[in-house]
Structure 1
C-alpha cells in the first residue's frame, strides 16, 4: 500500500522510483482509484521538469499516462504542464492534439500550458492556432489565458497582436506591462520599451529585471548598469543580467568586479552566474580568478557539478592553458556529452598536445557520444600541429562519410594550415580551389602565412591577389607580402608592394600592447 501524509508530495528523481510506485499501485489495486491516479500523474509529470529529468524518465512517464483508460481534464492538464516545462516541450503539443482528437475539452488551465510550450519552441503558427481555439472556446477574457497569449505574441508572435491584448487588459496588471515591455526590448525597440517602463504605474522586481535585461542583451551596458543601480530591490536575476551583459560585450573585468560586489552584499549566485564568470575568465585567460570561481562552484554544489557547469570549468581551464586541471575535471564528469569531449580535445590541440588530443578523440569514438563539427575542428588542429597530414585527410573525409557532417570554412582552414605547415603549398592551393572556398579571405590568409614561412613568393603573389580582391583595405596583407619579398632579398618587390599600399591609401595600423597591473 502507498501511504502519504496530507499535503506531502512524492519526489521522483529517477525512472526506478517511478516504476516502483507504479508497480505498487497496480499490485495493491489502486490503478483505478482516481485520487491515487491523480497523485501519481502529478508526481510523474513533475519528474519531467528540472535538472533530474531524463529522456528515459520522461518516456516512461508518457507511456504510463497512455495506459490510463479515460484520463480526466485534470490529468491531461497536469501532464501538459509537466511537458511544457520539460527539456522537450513538443510532448505538450502532442498531448494537446491527442486530447482534442479524443474530444476532451480544454479549459482555462490547458491553454496557458500549451501556449507556454509554443513560446519555448518558438512555434508561431501552432501558437496562433491555439489563440484561435481560445477565442472559439470563450476563454479570451480569462486573465491568466490572456496574459499567456500576450507573452507568446510578445516573445515570438505578432507584436501588434500583443499590443492589442495589452490595450484590452487591466492597466494595473503588472504581468501584462512586463510581457509587452519584454517583447519590445527583445526585438531591439528599447526606446518604446523604456517609455512603457517609465509610464508603468506599479513596477515590481520582474519589470525592473525585464528592462535591465533588455539593455544588457543589446549591449547598452551604460543604461543597463544605470537602471540596475537605480532598482529599489535586486535578486540574482538582476545581477546575472548585468554580469552576462558585461561578458557578452567583452567587459570581463567589470563582470568579475560586479560579482565581487554581489558577494559583498550577500546575494547568492546561481549556475547562470557561474557560467558567465567562467566565460569571463576563459576569455581573459585569467587562471587565478578561474580557480576562485571553480572553488566557489564546488562550495555551492557540494562537489556535484551539473554536466553543463563542469563543461564550462573544463573549457575555462583549457583556454587558460591549465590542461592538467582541465583533464582532472573532465574525468570526473559522470555524464559526458559532446561539449565535454570538445573542450578537452580542442584544449589539448590548441595548446600543442596533439597526440593526447587525438588519443582522446579515439576514446570518444569508442563511446556512445557522437562527435560534431566542433569536435573535428579540434581534431584537425591536432593533426596540423603534429604534422599528421595523412591522418588529417582521413579525419576530414571521415566527418562527411561516417558522421554526415558537411565541412565548413573552419575545417577547410584547418586542412589548408595542415598542408601549409607541412610545406605542401601547391596541394593547399589546389585544395582551396577544389572545395570552392576561393571567396573566403580566411583560408587565403592562412595560405599566405604558410607561403612566407616556406619562402614561396609565386604562390604568395596569387594568394595576395585573391585577398586584395576581397578586402583591399587590410594593411596586414600588404605588409605580409612585403615582408616575404624582403625575407627572400627581393627588395624591389618589397618596395613595389609598399608603393601599391600608399597609392591605394592603405595605412599600417600602429602597434600596441596591453599590460595588466595587479594591486
Structure 2
C-alpha cells in the first residue's frame, strides 16, 4: 500500500505540477511512476498528486491506470478525489464517476466547491437525470448552490437533460448577470431544437463571449441550418478552433464535403491551426466522398501536427479513410506505423482488407491479432467472416463462427448470421444455407433472404429460390429487385411460365422496376446520371457515356 497522504488543498489551481509536464504519453507515465517507486517517492504526497493528475487529466488514455494507482493509495486527500472525479467525468466512461463519488462519501471525505461540478458533468454526459437531481440535493445540503461555478453547472445539467423549468428558475433567480449561465441556457434550448428561444436568449445577452457564439452556431449546425450557422459565423468578432470545427463538422454532416474542404482552407488562411477534431471531421468527409487526394494531404498535415506520432483516434480514422477510398496498401502502412493501437485499429484494417479483395491477408492478420493482448469483439468477427466468405473458406468460416461463440462468448448478431449465409451461398451450399437459417436464434431479415435468393440465382436452384422469395414477400412487398431475381432464376432454367407469373405478380402488387443509374466523377465532382431516356448520350470530356433505358450503364468509350 502507498503511504497515507494528508492535505486540505483540493483545487488543481493550488498545485504547481512538474511531473505531468514531462508525461507526453502512457509509456512515459509508467516510466516516471517506476522511477518514483525505485527512489522512494511513492510516499511523497506532492509526487503522488502529480502522478494522479498526469494519469487522470494530462493523458486522457491513461485514466484506467489512474484508477489502478488510486486504489493503492490508503487515504487519498480531497485533491486526489477531485482529480479522479474530473478525469472520470471527461473520460470515455463517465459512468465511473458516480460510483467513485459514492466511495468518497463512504470514506467520509467532505466535498468542496470543485467536487459537484465534476459529478454533474458526468450526469449530463450520460443523461442520468435521477442521479443528477440527487446530486443537486447534495449541493443544497452542503450549501454550494450559491457558488457560481456549481450553480452554472446545475443550470447546464438541467437545461441539457433535466428540466428547463428548474434551469430557468436557477437562471432567473441569481444567474442573469453571468455570461456562462446565459450560454448554458442557450445551449439547453438549442439542444432541444428550440432554436427560436435559443436565439432570443442569445440576442438578449448583455455581453457575449466566444462560448456563447459557439453554442449558438453549434445549435444551428445540429439542426442542419447551415445558412443560419454561416451567417452567425461571419458575425463572430474573434473565432477559435471550436468555431471552425462546428462549421466544418456541419458541412460534413450535411454531406457538403467540398464546402467542408473549402472551410478548412479558409481556416488555415486565417491562421487558425486545426486540431484532432478538425482532422477527424475532414477524414470522415474524405472517406464518404472518396477524396483520396485530399485525405493524403491531411495525412501529411497530421504527421506535421503530431510531429510524426499518430494518436490512436487519428490513426484509426486514417485507416478507415484509406480503406474506403480503396488504398489498402496505405491503410496497412498507417496500421503498421501506429505505436499504440486499440481493438478499433485492428477492426478497421481487418474490415478494409476483407471488403476490398484481400481476404487471405485479413485472415492472416486476424491470427496475428489473436497472438497479441487484444481481444476480438463482434465487429472483428464480422470482418473475418466476410473474408472467409469472399475467399471461399467455408471450413475456416465455420471454425471462426464457433470460436466466436465458444471461446470468446460472443453472441452472434444478424450480421454474423448474414455472413454465414453469404459464405454458404457463394460456395454453392444453398441447401445447407437454408438449414442454417432454420437453426438461427434470430429471425432472419430481408437481407439474409435476399442473399440466399441471389445464391439460388447463381447456382440455378429454382425450388429454393421460390422459397426464399416467398419468405421475402412476407417481409417486404415493394422491392422490385426481389421479383427480378426470381424471374431471372426461372429464365435461366427456361421456365418462361414462371417468368410470366412473376411479372404478373409485380403488376398486381403495383411494383415497378426502378431505372438504373451510374455514378461518374468529372472534374472531381460526383454526378448521378439517371437513365430516363433510351439512347441518351452524355458527353464527359473525351468520353461519351451511352445508356439504355431501364439498365445500368454498360459502355463507356
Among candidates 35, 48, 52, match of residue 56 of structure 2: 48
Q: CA deviation at 1:354?
A: 1.1
Cα deviation code 1:292-322 (max 9, x no counterpart): 1111111111111101111111111112221
Among candidates 70, 74, 80, match of residue 66 of structure 1: 74
Cα deviation code 1:225-246 (max 9, x no counterpart): 3433343332211221222222
- Residue correspondences, number: 504
Secondary structure in 2 matching 1:107: coil
Q: 1:494 to 1:151 in 2, by over 3 A?
A: same
1:434 corresponds in structure 2 to: 439
Name the TM-score, length of structure 2 as normaliser.
0.83
Cα deviation code 1:463-486 (max 9, x no counterpart): 222222222122222222223323
Q: CA deviation at 1:187?
A: 3.1
1:9 corresponds in structure 2 to: 17
Q: 1:99 to 1:504 in 2, by over 3 A?
A: closer
1:196 corresponds in structure 2 to: 201
CA contact (8 A) 2:63 2:87 kept: no
Q: CA deviation at 1:330?
A: 0.8
1:262 corresponds in structure 2 to: 267
CA contact (8 A) 1:282 1:319 kept: yes
2:116 corresponds in structure 1 to: 111
1:34 corresponds in structure 2 to: none
CA contact (8 A) 1:314 1:329 kept: yes
2:531 corresponds in structure 1 to: none
Among candidates 100, 119, 137, match of residue 132 of structure 1: 137
Secondary structure in 1 matching 2:203: helix
Q: CA deviation at 1:365?
A: 0.5
Q: CA deviation at 1:48?
A: 1.3
Secondary structure in 2 matching 1:106: coil
Q: 1:50 to 1:473 in 2, by over 3 A?
A: farther
Q: CA deviation at 1:214?
A: 2.3
Q: CA RMSD in A?
A: 2.6
Q: CA deviation at 1:79?
A: 4.8
Is 1:505 the equivalent of 2:510? Answer: yes
**Comparing 421-430 and 477-486, the one that deviates more:** 477-486
Cα deviation code 1:367-415 (max 9, x no counterpart): 1101111111110011001111111111112111111211111111111
Q: 1:320 to 1:97 in 2, by over 3 A?
A: same
Secondary structure in 2 matching 1:513: strand
Q: Matched residues in 2 for 1:290 and 1:26: separation?
A: 46
Q: 1:200 to 1:472 in 2, by over 3 A?
A: farther
Q: 1:67 to 1:239 in 2, by over 3 A?
A: same
Secondary structure in 1 matching 2:521: coil
Runs of 5+ unmatched residues, structure 2: 1-13, 24-28, 525-557
Q: Matched residues in 2 for 1:257 and 1:333: separation?
A: 29
Q: Matched residues in 2 for 1:483 and 1:190: separation?
A: 53
Structure 1: which 4+ aligned runs deviate by more than 6 Å? none
Q: Matched residues in 2 for 1:86 and 1:493: separation?
A: 60
Q: Matched residues in 2 for 1:227 and 1:161: separation?
A: 29
Cα deviation code 1:49-73 (max 9, x no counterpart): 14365256413541464345xx3x5
Runs of 5+ unmatched residues, structure 1: 1-5, 32-36
**Comparing 358-367 and 115-124, the one that deviates more:** 115-124
> Counterparts in 2 of 1:15-34, with a 5 A limit?
15-21=30-36, 31=44
Q: 1:443 to 1:218 in 2, by over 3 A?
A: farther
> Counterparts in 2 of 1:430-509, with a 5 A limit?
430-509=435-514
1:3 corresponds in structure 2 to: none
Q: 1:499 to 1:228 in 2, by over 3 A?
A: farther
Among candidates 330, 352, 358, match of residue 325 of structure 1: 330
Q: 1:143 to 1:449 in 2, by over 3 A?
A: same
Is 1:181 the equivalent of 2:186? Answer: yes
Q: Matched residues in 2 for 1:358 and 1:383: separation?
A: 8
1:360 corresponds in structure 2 to: 365
Among candidates 157, 166, 188, match of residue 161 of structure 1: 166
Q: CA deviation at 1:96?
A: 3.3
Q: 1:223 to 1:474 in 2, by over 3 A?
A: farther
2:428 corresponds in structure 1 to: 423
Q: Matched residues in 2 for 1:457 and 1:60: separation?
A: 62
**Higher strand fraction (1 or 2):** 2
Name the TM-score, length of structure 1 as normaliser.
0.89
**Comparing 354-363 and 390-399, the one that deviates more:** 390-399
Secondary structure in 1 matching 2:308: coil
